[in-house]
Chain A
Amino acid sequence: MVSLVLPRLMSLRGPARRSISVAGRNVTALRSAYWIVLLSGIAEPMLYLLSIGVGVGRLIGDLRLPGGPVVSYAAFVAPAMLAASAMSGALAETTFNFFGKMKYLKLYDGILATPVRPFEIALGELGWAMLRGTLYSAVFLAVMVAIDLTSPLRALAALPAAVLVGFAFGGLGMAISTFMRSWQDFDLLGSAQFALFLFSGTFVPAQAYPSVLRWVVEASPLYRAVDLIRGITVTGFGVSQLVDVLYLAAVLTIGLVVAGRRMERLLCR
C-alpha cells in the first residue's frame, strides 16, 4: 500500500519543479522594454483612481451603501480599481503574451520536448502572471493607505485577495487564449474586458441597476472580485465575500484545467 501511494506523492515534486522552471524562463527574459509595460500597468489604475475617484468624487460627495455605511466616492472606487488592475495585469500576461508564445514564438513546442507537460506550462505561466499582478496590487494598496482610503491592516488583508483575483482571471485568460484563432479575436476580448470594467459595480453600486441587469452584474467575475476587495478594505467581510472567494477559486480551477487540456490538444497532436 505504502509503496503504491508514496511514489505518487513524491511525483508531485516533479510537476512543481517543472512549473517553476517555466516561470523562471520569464524572469530570465526580463528586459528593459518589459519594465515599461510593467510601469504602465501600475500607472493606469492610479490614473482612474485620481481622475474619477478623487476628481469626479468631489462632485458626487459621499455614498450611502446598502446596509448602511457611508463612504467617500474615492473609497468606493479605489477597491474596484485594485480589482480591475489585478484583472488586467493577469489578462495581459495570460492572453496576449501567452498566445504569442504559444502560436507565434512556438515556445511551448520547444518546452514540450522536455519532461515539462502542458498543464505544468499553464501553471508556470500563471504563477509568473501572478508575480506581476501581485506587484501591481501591492503598489496600489500602498497608495490607498497613503491617501487614507483604507487602513494598513485592511490593505495587508486585501493583498492575498487581490492575488486570488489575479489567479482567477489568469486561469480564465489562459483558457480563453487557447480558443483564440488570431490577433483579431483579441479585440473582442478587449471589448468584453472594458465592459466588465465599466459595469461590475466599479463606478456605480450594483443596486443602482434594474433587477434583471443587477443579476447579470452580480454574476460577473469582476463584480465578485470588486465585492471581495471592497468588503475587505472598506465595508467589511461577510457571507457575500465568502461566496466571492469560492466563485473565484472555481474560476481559477476550471480555467487551469481547460487551458491544460486545450494546450495538450493543440500542441500534442
Chain B
Amino acid sequence: MANDGVLIRARGLVKRFGDFVAVNGIDVDVRAGEAFGFLGPNGAGKSSTMRMIGCVSPPSGGELRILGMDPRRDGPAIRARLGVCPQLDNLDPELTVRENLTTYARYFGIPRRVARERAAELLEFVQLTERANSRVEPLSGGMKRRLTIARALVNEPDIVLLDEPTTGLDPQARHLVWERLFRLKQQGVTLVLTTHYMDEAEQLCDRLVVMDGGRIVAEGSPRELIERYSTREVVELRFGGEEQESFAGKLTGIGERTEVLPDRILLYVADGDAAVTEVHARALTPASVLVRRSTLEDVFLHLTGRTLVD
C-alpha cells in the first residue's frame, strides 16, 4: 500500500475510444477510509474512469496507480483487493442467491468453507437471508442491487467501487442501499462511487469531484463545493405562462446570480426571505415561491450551465 494513505492515484488519466475522448486528463487521489465520489451527468466519463480503476479497461494515457500497483501489469493482484458493483447488474441468473456469492468467492480463490461462512454473513448484512435459495430472476431491483453489493464484498476488499449504486431503484430501495453503504463507510471501507444524483453524493461522499465532458471541473467536500460555487440559499420562482425569460430582466439586482431554466427562475441569494420580499416589492407575482438551501445540483448548474438529470 502507498505509505501516504493514497489508495488510488491518477495523473493526467485519459481514456479514448477511437476518436472519442471519454476521459480527458484527470487527476484524482483517493485516500484510505474515505468515501469518494464522481458526480456528473450521463456521458461525463465517470463509468470509463471506474472501469479503468477496476482494471478491466486499460488507460489510453496518463498515470494510474491503485494500491501502489500498476493496472497494466498487476491487474489480477489489484482486482483481488477490489470489490466492484457495476452499473448494470451482472449477477449469474443460472445460480441461486447464495451460489452467486459462493461461486464468486471461488474466482478469488477463497476456500469453499470460508466462502460459505462469508456468504451467510453477507446475506445477513444485505437482508437477503430469506431469499438465499431463490434464483436471481424473481428478485426486485433493490434486492438485486443489494446482492451485487454483497458480491462485491465477498473478498473483503480494500476498496469498493460502486457505479451508480442506486440508479433505477425506487426511493425506499435507495434508502436501504444508502443505509448499508453508510455502514460500510463506518467500518472503514474505502468507497469510490459514481452518481448523477446530488442527494446521493451529499449523503455518502466525504469528498467528490464534479465531472463534465471527460474533465474534472471542481473538487472538494459537498459542503466546500456549495460554499465555493453557490450561495447559502436559493429562491425558486415559477411564473405562469411560458416566458420565464421575460421576468428575468425584472429580477436583476436581487441576489448574486440568476439562472433561468425552462420551467423556473433560480435566484442565488444569502437571505431567501429578504429576496422574496424584494420580489414582491417589485410588484411581481410568481405562481409559486420556494426558498431552499443550496445543493450540489446548484454547484453543477453554476459550473456547467446545465442540470444534472435531464
A joins B in a complex = yes
Q: How far is the CA of A110 from the CA of B82 in the complex (A)?
A: 13
Interface size on A, residues (CB 8 A): 25
Interface size on B, residues (CB 8 A): 30
A214 adjacent to chain B (CB < 8 Å): no
Contact with B along A88-117 (1 / 0, CB 8 A): 000000000000000001110111111111
Chain B residues whose CB sits within 8 angstroms of the CB of A115 once the complex forms: 75-77, 79-80, 107-109
Contact with A along B57-92 (1 / 0, CB 8 A): 110000000000000000111011010101010111
A29 adjacent to chain B (CB < 8 Å): yes
Whether A28 and B99, one on each chain, are in contact in the complex, defined by CB atoms closer than 8 angstroms, is yes
Which residues of B, 173-226, contact A by the 8 Å Cβ criterion?
none
B41 adjacent to chain A (CB < 8 Å): no
- Which residue in chain B gives the minimum CB-CB distance to A112? B56
Hey, which bits of chain B sit against chain A, CB under 8 A?
17, 54, 56-58, 75-77, 79-80, 82, 84, 86, 88, 90-95, 99, 102-104, 106-109, 151, 155
- Which residue in chain B gives the minimum CB-CB distance to A26? B94
Chain A residues whose CB sits within 8 angstroms of the CB of B93 once the complex forms: 105
Q: How far is the CA of A21 from the CA of B102 in the complex (A)?
A: 11
Chain B residues whose CB sits within 8 angstroms of the CB of A268 once the complex forms: 56-58
* Least distance between B261 CB and chain A CB atoms (Å): 36
A64 adjacent to chain B (CB < 8 Å): no
Chain B residues whose CB sits within 8 angstroms of the CB of A160 once the complex forms: none
Whether A269 and B79, one on each chain, are in contact in the complex, defined by CB atoms closer than 8 angstroms, is no
Contact with B along A207-231 (1 / 0, CB 8 A): 0000000000000000000000000
A110 partner, pick from B57, B80, B92, B102, beta carbons under 8 A: B92
Most chain A CB within 10 A, of B80, B102, B106, B155, is at: B106
* Least distance between B201 CB and chain A CB atoms (Å): 23
Whether A269 and B95, one on each chain, are in contact in the complex, defined by CB atoms closer than 8 angstroms, is no
Whether A106 and B109, one on each chain, are in contact in the complex, defined by CB atoms closer than 8 angstroms, is no
A114 partner, pick from B17, B57, B88, B104, beta carbons under 8 A: B104
Whether B95 and A114, one on each chain, are in contact in the complex, defined by CB atoms closer than 8 angstroms, is no
Given A110-B86, A114-B80, output 13 extra A-B contacts at Cβ < 8 Å: A24-B106, A28-B95, A28-B99, A31-B94, A107-B90, A109-B86, A114-B79, A114-B108, A114-B155, A115-B80, A116-B76, A116-B107, A268-B56
Hey, which bits of chain A sit against chain B, CB under 8 A?
14, 17-18, 21-22, 24-25, 28-29, 31, 105-107, 109-117, 267-269
For this complex, 30 residue pairs linking A to B, each with C-beta atoms less than 8 Å apart, are A14-B76, A18-B76, A18-B107, A21-B106, A22-B107, A24-B103, A24-B106, A25-B95, A28-B95, A28-B99, A28-B102, A28-B103, A31-B94, A105-B92, A106-B88, A107-B90, A110-B92, A110-B104, A113-B56, A113-B79, A113-B82, A113-B84, A114-B79, A114-B108, A115-B79, A115-B80, A115-B108, A117-B76, A267-B56, A269-B17
Q: How far is the CA of A113 from the CA of B151 in the complex (A)?
A: 11
Chain B residues whose CB sits within 8 angstroms of the CB of A14 once the complex forms: 76, 109
- Which residue in chain A gives the minimum CB-CB distance to B148? A110
The list of the 6 closest CB pairs from A to B, nearest first, reads A115-B76, A114-B107, A113-B84, A106-B90, A110-B90, A29-B94
Q: A113-B82, A114-B79, A117-B75 are in contact. Are A21 and B109 (CB under 8 A)?
A: yes
